[in-house]
Every structure is written in C-alpha cells, then in structure tokens.
Amino acid sequence: MNPANERPYLRYFFEYGSGVCLWTGNDAAQNRFGDYAIDTEALPLSDNTRYCLQHLIAWYDTGLNWDDQGGGASPWSDEERARFNVAAQEGFRRLVQELPAETYEINDESGTQAPSDTPPDYKLLARIFAPTDNAEHADKQAEALLEKLAAFSPEPINPPVPYWKVPGWYEHFLKLSPADETTFDAVVALAGGNWDITRDSEWDAVWNPSPGHIFLLPEVVWVEIMLIQPNPPSPDQEYLPS
C-alpha cells in the first residue's frame, strides 16, 4: 500500500461509452475515490471545467461507429479529429490549472497532444489486461510480468486493479524504459501478429490474442503500448461563453 500522504495519481484519457475521462492510477487515488473511474463531481473543479469535460466526453463518443464497433471506420473527418484534439488539450490544461500539483499528480494519456518542433521527453507505458478470480492471483501475474519485462526496467505505476469495463479482468499499468522508438518496437516484438499500430507524433500499439500467439503470459487478453509526450502548459481561457 502506498503511503497515506502520497498524491493521488490521475490518468486523463477517453474510452467510448465510459462517461468519464479521469481514472485512478495508484493506491492513493483508489483510497480517495473508491473506484477506477472518477466522476468529476468528486474533484474540486469549477463548474466551467466540469462542463468542458462533459462536453468532451460526449463529443468523443460521436467518433465511434456504434453500429460496427469492432471494425467500422470512425465517422469523424481528419478535421474534426484535429478540432477534438485541440479541445481535449484545453480540458487537460484546465485540470492542471485547477488541481494543485502539490495535491494531485495528473498524467495525459489521451493521445491528443500536438506535435512539437522541439523533440520532447517521452514516457513509454504499457497497459496489460489479464483475467483472474482474485487480487492475490493478480499480484502473482504482476510479478511474472515484471520478470518477463525485466530488460525494459519496468516500474508499476499502480498495483493491478479490476478493469471497470470487463468483470474479472485486471489491469497492469507499467512504465518502461528507455522511452524511445527502439524500445517501443522491442516490446511490440514480444508478441507476434494482431497488433494495431499507429506511428504519428505519438506511438500507440494495441494487441489482441490470436491462435498461436501470446503476450508474455498465456492469460493476457489485451495490451496497449504507448509512447507519449509529457504534459502541456496551463490554460489561459474560459470554456463557457461570456
């Protein structure tokens, strides 16, 4: 268990149909909010910022083809995706501004950051999901994953937590290093086939199991590897119209 005075670690990203964009990332956050998904009403945010985040969550849900969720093309144009990315970054900047750094740690995992002319520092993160019947077995899975990933200096960001969306699944959330493209490719190479990879300003790879292929452990059912940029600066404008 993390010390009681450790800052809650909040993760900022969007998932279709979830109704939230903030998620607990360590024991301190779990103890404070009691769940993986965090309702903005539980945070000391202005109404202005809550409206902004609610708008973003509803907007994000329009980017999925709900009639063909597994393989249908997004109804968004490139222009709308770019507009959403800008708005999502504004939402994140508001969170950073209103939640004091001495009280909360917030990480942007939304993948909506703009490219920069200056090469940024990166974070290499792994989300690994595996089903199990109990937390004790999830802890054993976590130990096995750390051993399998030892070459990449894995650091757990939080203990394994139940995945809110699929009962029985646990999420293992790890930081890997060095955080660069070579390491990203090396981690992806640990499992053959069935990767959906994006290589834009930030890199993202999603893996699903297929016959004859596993990722580290036979029970792993879903993986996301992210090479992401650091947090952007604070906001300087209001979301609500004057």
Which of 84, 108, 132 terminates a domain? The answer is 108
Q: Is residue 1 a part of any domain in this protein? A: no
Q: H or E stretch including 79?
A: helix 78-98
The pair phi, psi for residue 175, each rounded to 5°, is -105, 130
| 4, pLDDT greater than 60 | no
User: Does one domain contain both 94 and 131?
Assistant: no
- Dihedral (CA of 11, 15, 21, 27) sign: negative
User: Domain range for residue 217?
Assistant: 123-228
CA dist 101 → 7, 24, 60, 172 (Å) = 9, 16, 27, 25
Q: Is residue 238 a part of any domain in this protein? A: no
User: Does one domain contain both 53 and 130?
Assistant: no
* pLDDT tens column, 178-209: 998 889 999 999 987 778 888 877 789 999 88
Q: Is residue 236 a part of any domain in this protein? A: no
- Dihedral (CA of 132, 134, 138, 140) sign: negative
User: Does one domain contain both 174 and 200?
Assistant: yes
Q: Is residue 181 a part of any domain in this protein? A: yes
User: Does one domain contain both 156 and 184?
Assistant: yes
User: Does one domain contain both 102 and 139?
Assistant: no
User: Does one domain contain both 104 and 131?
Assistant: no
User: Does one domain contain both 163 and 100?
Assistant: no
Q: How confident is the model at residue 239 (pLDDT cuts 50, 70, 90)?
A: very low
CA distance 119 to 219: 37
Q: Is residue 115 a part of any domain in this protein? A: no
C-alpha closest to that of 12 among 81, 100, 113, 82: 113
* pLDDT tens column, 13-72: 999 999 999 999 998 999 989 888 999 999 999 999 999 999 999 999 999 888 776 666
User: Does one domain contain both 46 and 102?
Assistant: yes
User: Does one domain contain both 69 and 152?
Assistant: no
Which of 77, 108, 139 terminates a domain? The answer is 108
| 231, pLDDT greater than 90 | no
* pLDDT tens column, 55-89: 999 999 999 888 776 666 788 988 888 889 989 99
User: Does one domain contain both 218 and 131?
Assistant: yes
CA distance 88 to 94: 10
Q: How many domains does the chain have?
A: 2
**Contact status, residue 91 vs residue 67, Cβ threshold 8 Å:** no
User: Does one domain contain both 152 and 178?
Assistant: yes
User: Does one domain contain both 104 and 128?
Assistant: no
